[in-house]
């Protein structure tokens, strides 16, 4: 499991604070490998608010005892003291970002940006911009540079604006977007199932009776990646998870994620992550030994 998180004042205890309109308390990201499972259950919820953004794969949430499968491109909003129960399965390739926040104007801000009570799940689309905001939130809260709390609030405002823009598209746009998103979702599922095989994008588009250019364009609009970039991201993400496990060597991992040549795999991995597979594994182990 890959975890990267940050907490205000290094405290994991949830809190309510009305001294300012909006305050970021903690944020982070999870990514599970195929054999892992993670369940969160808070019977009495928390005293702050939480947004979870499903960047890829699926997650399972329970509202009023009913399971709801939430796919990539959705956010889930929890308000204070609401029961929280959700599960991630590694087999469903979840990558999730989250942020906890509080403040005197929080509920008014949520209503302003189209997230009224009691709705929990909103479709916002798969967005690199949203992911980048979450990454900046994590980085700012970890580094705590001058005026970082104000910057965290500004980043939260940006996140809410992006969410609102997606929620307020016109009916005609929604119909067109729904069709495009359906094709992108089908492709995403196919790529996750076959990422370690050779995939010809033109042949895939032809199998769906759509043009290659149109498919590449709508896929990039939906995910922020071209199809080949997305397949590469799946390979590298799965390689990261495998590198965090001890039972596979580099050659085996290379073959598992679809590369016959381990040297080529190492070059690709380093280009994408800034570290070779060997160096990444050493870094992960040193990080775990410090925790």
Q: What is the pLDDT of residues 3-22, one digit of tens each?
A: 889 999 989 999 999 999 99
Residue 23: strand pairing partners: 102
Strands 84-89 and 2-7: unpaired
How does residue 93 score in pLDDT terms, banded at 50, 70 and 90? confident
The per-residue pLDDT of the chain, averaged, comes to: 89
Q: What is the pLDDT of residue 3?
A: 87
Q: What is the pLDDT of residue 229?
A: 93
Position 1 pLDDT exceeds 80: no
Q: What is the pLDDT of residue 128?
A: 75
Position 219 pLDDT exceeds 60: yes
**Are the beta carbons of 24 and 152 closer than 8 angstroms?**
yes
- Asked if 2-167 and 230-290 have one fold, the answer is no
Using alpha carbons only, give the angle 95, 57, 164 rounded to the nearest 5 degrees.
Answer: 75
* Arithmetic mean of pLDDT, 155-180: 76
Which among 3-12, 44-53, 218-227, 278-287 has the top mean pLDDT?
44-53
How does residue 130 score in pLDDT terms, banded at 50, 70 and 90? confident
Position 170 pLDDT exceeds 50: no
Which superfamily, per CATH, for 230-290? Homeodomain-like (1.10.10.60)
Q: Which of 70, 72, 90, 99 is nearest to 237 (CA)?
A: 90
Measured CA to CA, the distance from residue 172 to residue 178 in angstroms comes to 10
Q: What is the pLDDT of residue 204?
A: 95
A 10 A CB-CB count for 161 gives 11
Q: Which of 279, 229, 217, 237 is nearest to 56 (CA)?
A: 237
Choice between 82 and 91, residue whose per-residue pLDDT is larger? 82
Measured CA to CA, the distance from residue 40 to residue 50 in angstroms comes to 13
Q: Omega of the bond prior to 118 within 30 degrees of 0, cis?
A: yes
Residue with tokens 């949830």: 14
How does residue 174 score in pLDDT terms, banded at 50, 70 and 90? low
A 10 A CB-CB count for 74 gives 21
CATH architecture, domain 2-167: Sandwich (2.60)
**Are the beta carbons of 39 and 86 closer than 8 angstroms?**
yes
Tokens linked to 32: 């599970």
Tokens linked to 51: 């947004």
Q: Omega of the bond prior to 127 within 30 degrees of 0, cis?
A: no
Q: What percent of the chain has pLDDT over 70?
A: 95
Burial grade of 275 (CB within 10 A; 0-12, 13-18, 19 or more): middle
Tokens linked to 238: 């799965």
Q: What is the pLDDT of residue 286?
A: 81
Tokens linked to 41: 């259950």
Domains in the chain: boundaries? 2-167, 171-225, 230-290
* Arithmetic mean of pLDDT, 210-216: 93
Tokens linked to 176: 């067109």
Q: What is the pTM of this model?
A: 0.65
Q: What is the pLDDT of residue 290?
A: 63
* Arithmetic mean of pLDDT, 44-64: 94
């Amino acid at each position: 499991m890959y975890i990267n998180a940050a907490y205000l004042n290094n405290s994991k205890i949830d809190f309510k604070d009305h001294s300012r309109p909006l305050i970021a308390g903690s944020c982070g990201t999870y990514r599970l490998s195929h054999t892992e499972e993670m369940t969160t259950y808070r019977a009495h919820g928390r005293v702050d608010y939480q947004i979870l953004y499903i960047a890829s794969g699926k997650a399972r949430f329970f509202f009023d005892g009913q399971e709801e499968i939430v796919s990539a491109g959705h956010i889930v909003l929890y308000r204070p003291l609401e029961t929280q129960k959700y599960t991630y399965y590694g087999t469903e390739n979840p990558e999730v970002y989250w942020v906890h926040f509080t403040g005197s104007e929080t509920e008014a801000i949520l209503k302003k940006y189209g997230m009224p009570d009691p709705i929990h799940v909103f479709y916002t689309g798969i967005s690199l911009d949203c992911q980048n905001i979450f990454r900046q939130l994590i980085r700012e809260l970890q580094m705590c540079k001058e005026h970082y709390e104000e910057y965290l609030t500004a980043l939260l405002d940006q996140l809410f604006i992006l969410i609102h823009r997606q929620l307020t598209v016109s009916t005609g746009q929604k119909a067109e977007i729904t069709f495009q998103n359906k094709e992108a979702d089908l492709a995403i599922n196919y790529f996750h199932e076959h990422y370690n095989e050779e995939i010809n994008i033109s042949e895939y588009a032809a199998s769906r009776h759509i043009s290659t250019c149109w498919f590449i364009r709508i896929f990039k609009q939906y995910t922020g990646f071209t199809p080949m970039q997305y397949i590469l991201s799946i390979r590298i993400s799965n390689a990261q998870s495998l590198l965090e496990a001890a039972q596979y060597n580099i050659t085996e991992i290379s073959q598992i994620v679809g590369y016959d040549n381990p040297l080529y795999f190492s070059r690709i991995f380093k280009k994408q992550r800034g570290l070779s597979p060997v160096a990444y594994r050493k870094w992960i182990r040193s990080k775990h030994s410090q925790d």
